[in-house]
Amino acid sequence: MQNDYLVVVADGTCARFFTLDAATQPSLESGPHLLEHDDLVNPEHEQGGGDKYSSTRTGVNLNPRAGPSHGYDDHRTQHEQEHERRFAQDIAARAVVLAQENHTGHLVLTAEKHMLGLLRDALKIPVKSGIEVRELAKDLSKLIPSQLHDHLAAAGVLPARHGPKAG
């Protein structure tokens, strides 16, 4: 199967994977259109603070009888960053597999700036694959496929949709 574009849309919570597919009947329908193939969910974001940590508050001693409270650092920020880094690695690995399976020529990564940087660092595309990577630093993860396609086409990273071809 040939899908020249693989689109990955991600945030810290989930990632969605699309291919850009031609219209099945070009004389009757517009195309190309994005078709969602897979998604990943970050299991660390599904847990509440109480499930991940013994205390849901950070930064102060919680015992009111212990005298003056003292600030402390339980390294939650570092843990959250590590969870995001691991999730970005999972997304990048899945993107490479899908790109190779679909003989993709273009990989489009769309995420907010921080996640895009993590994805860029995690992405390991074989040199001989010939896959061109395009990036858009914007969180479009909540859009439906047609809206996503319109945004990506307007940004110049995907071909625009066109109406039915007269035959």
Q: Tokens 């517009």 identify what position?
A: 30
CATH number at residue 89: 3.30.420.60
Domain that holds residue 24: 5-48+75-154
DSSP letter string, 51-95: HHSS-S--SS---GGGSS-------HHHHHHHHHHHHHHHHHHHH
Q: How many domains does the chain have?
A: 1
Structural domain includes residue 40: yes
Q: Is residue 84 part of a domain?
A: yes
Q: What strands lie across the sheet with 132-137, from one edge to the other? A: 33-41, 14-21, 5-10, 106-111, 132-137
Q: What is the pLDDT of residues 36-72, one digit of tens each?
A: 999 999 987 655 544 554 555 555 555 556 555 555 5
**pTM recorded for the entire structure:** 0.77
Assess if residue 101 is contained within a domain.
Answer: yes
The H-or-E segment that residue 30 falls in is: none
Yes or no: say if 48 and 109 are a contact pair by the CB < 8 Å rule: no
pLDDT tens-place string over residues 84-133: 999 999 999 999 999 999 899 999 999 999 999 999 999 998 888 889 99
